[in-house]
Homo-oligomer: A and B are copies of this chain.
Amino acid sequence: MQFELTKDYLEELKNAVESSSEAKVLELIDGLHAVDIAEILDEQSTKEAKAFYAVLPEELAADALVELDEDTREKFLKEISPEEIAEKIIDNLDSDDAADVIGELSEEKQDEVISHLEDIEQAGDIIDLLNYDEDTAGGLMAKELVKVKVDWDVATCIKEIRSQAEEVEKMYTVYVVDENDVLQGRISLKKLLLAPDKTKIKDLYNDEVILVKVDAEREDVAQVMDKYDLVVIPVIDEIGRLLGRITIDDVVDVIKEEADKDYQMASGISENVESSDSAWVLTRARLPWLLIGLFGGILGAQVIEAYEGQIKIHPEMAFFIPLIAAMAGNVGVQSSAIVVQGLANNTLGLDSLWKRLFKELLVGLINGVVLGALIFTYNFFFSDNLTLGLIVSISLLAVIVFAAIFGTLVPLMLDKYKIDPALATGPFITTVNDVFGLFLYLYIGYLMYAG
């Protein structure tokens, strides 16, 4: 039932396209969805993809373009004239997708495409949508929806819905508005189907509707739809007029993007990259955090250099440098990850900062005592230097407690000042904890060997 792309299939398709046997191509793609077509296009060279795209049925071609990887789409659109974009692509899309595609064009080409749109209403919708920031509810919403007036009866409604529904591909809810288009509530198709013809909408509709303002941030829209298990949410303007609706499929993409972004930050990747990107793009995304790591390493070198005399006398101090640095890094990442995830999922609850830090102190102490005891046991049996064993264990405990508290504090602080707390995860927290951990270790060693 589901399509799986293989090399053999690609080869067969390529041959069919090259030999211009349109019937064979159409047979090969029979039953495929736009997203499958996009997957094929992404795997082809630009030349192959262009030839294949030309054979596709118009509506499928338009939908596949929306599903394409952004880079591939950009290349594609450059090769198509504004007139063709307007008539073959935009005309076949819902307003939200249409606005997204047009939004990626140059300003000049945008105007040209819009001037070629035949449906004035559609052109107006798209111009409206282009004005919204793409990170807000306005940037996510589509204008297509079904709405009825609050003072109509069921029969009028159903007649009206029949005429509106032809333009709306997926209908989940019928919105109820007053004469000024101000959203009053919603009514399900099911309820309309079950009600007698003469019933008034005002006696039937549900006035409790969860909605978002047009300038709400997209993360907030996603959180509300996820929390309340909504499939669609209406978008209103400042005075409550119904502007559009956002469907869950767009919000799932937002949720995945946000999760991917946090994951990449925690892994030290600074741009949204995929393994299929070029080596250059991948390097660009990875180098910034590595530079921070390098800088941290240089600081670490300076800390150790400050204790060079001590290492000359006690070279065994050097053995446990990686252990201390690694543990400091690991604990810090764990602590910050828990906070970042709690902030992202809104599950931090109402605990005060002090209560949170106290719990982290406790976790750090337990972990530190267990690991400190283990490393002491190791040193007791495998090293003849008990002072070193004590230094390592005490430093490890101190470093773990510090890293746990620091890892908790930093993302909470960043969030308070409206900076993305995910910035605190990964290499940043690791680097700071590394350097501070080293200092603590060498200083404790200095005190204990001196004492």
- CB <8 Å contact, A342 and B275: yes
A286 to B301, CA, bound (A): 29
What 1/0 mask marks residues of chain A from 295 to 316 whose CB sits below 8 Å from any chain B CB? 0111011101100100110011
- Asked whether A351 is an interface residue with its Cβ less than 8 Å from the other chain, the reply is yes
Interface residues of A in 250-266 (CB under 8 A from B): 252, 255-256, 259-260, 262-264, 266
Set B312, B320, B378: member contacting A315, Cβ < 8 A: B312
Chain B neighbourhood of A193, CB < 8 A: 158, 161-162, 165, 189
- Asked whether A438 is an interface residue with its Cβ less than 8 Å from the other chain, the reply is yes
**Nearest CB on B from A2, distance (A):** 6
Chain B neighbourhood of A1, CB < 8 A: 210-211
Set B170, B194, B247, B337: member contacting A162, Cβ < 8 A: B194
Interface residues of A in 266-289 (CB under 8 A from B): 266-269, 273-276, 279-280, 282-283, 286-287, 289
**Nearest CB on B from A292, distance (A):** 9
Set B228, B229, B318, B326: member contacting A318, Cβ < 8 A: B318
- CB <8 Å contact, B326 and A293: yes
**Nearest CB on B from A383, distance (A):** 9
- CB <8 Å contact, A231 and B260: no
Which of A54-62, A135-143, A363-371 lines the interface with chain B? A363-371
Known A193-B158, A252-B226, A256-B345; judge A331-B290 contact (CB<8 A).
yes
Set B273, B276, B342, B375: member contacting A294, Cβ < 8 A: B375
- CB <8 Å contact, A315 and B308: yes
Residue of B nearest to A300 (CB): B322
A10 to B350, CA, bound (A): 10
Residue of B nearest to A407 (CB): B267
- CB <8 Å contact, A283 and B367: yes
A324 to B322, CA, bound (A): 9
- CB <8 Å contact, B171 and A189: yes
**Nearest CB on B from A359, distance (A):** 5
Which of A14-22, A107-115, A423-431 lines the interface with chain B? A423-431
- Asked whether A329 is an interface residue with its Cβ less than 8 Å from the other chain, the reply is yes
**Nearest CB on B from A271, distance (A):** 11
**Nearest CB on B from A136, distance (A):** 16
- Asked whether A7 is an interface residue with its Cβ less than 8 Å from the other chain, the reply is yes
- CB <8 Å contact, B338 and A33: no
Interface residues of A in 362-407 (CB under 8 A from B): 362-363, 366-367, 370-371, 374-375, 378
**Nearest CB on B from A247, distance (A):** 8
Residue of B nearest to A318 (CB): B318
A297 to B325, CA, bound (A): 9
- Asked whether A333 is an interface residue with its Cβ less than 8 Å from the other chain, the reply is yes
What 1/0 mask marks residues of chain A from 102 to 121 whose CB sits below 8 Å from any chain B CB? 00000000000000000000
- CB <8 Å contact, B326 and A315: no
Residue of B nearest to A309 (CB): B315
- CB <8 Å contact, A341 and B264: yes
What are 14 A-B contacts with C-beta separation under 8 Å? Answer: A1-B210, A7-B350, A262-B263, A263-B263, A267-B425, A268-B334, A274-B338, A276-B342, A283-B367, A289-B330, A290-B371, A322-B434, A325-B326, A326-B430
Pairs of residues from A and B, 10 with the lowest C-beta to C-beta distance, nearest first: A297-B323, A267-B337, A259-B259, A229-B249, A300-B322, A301-B319, A275-B342, A318-B318, A279-B362, A322-B325
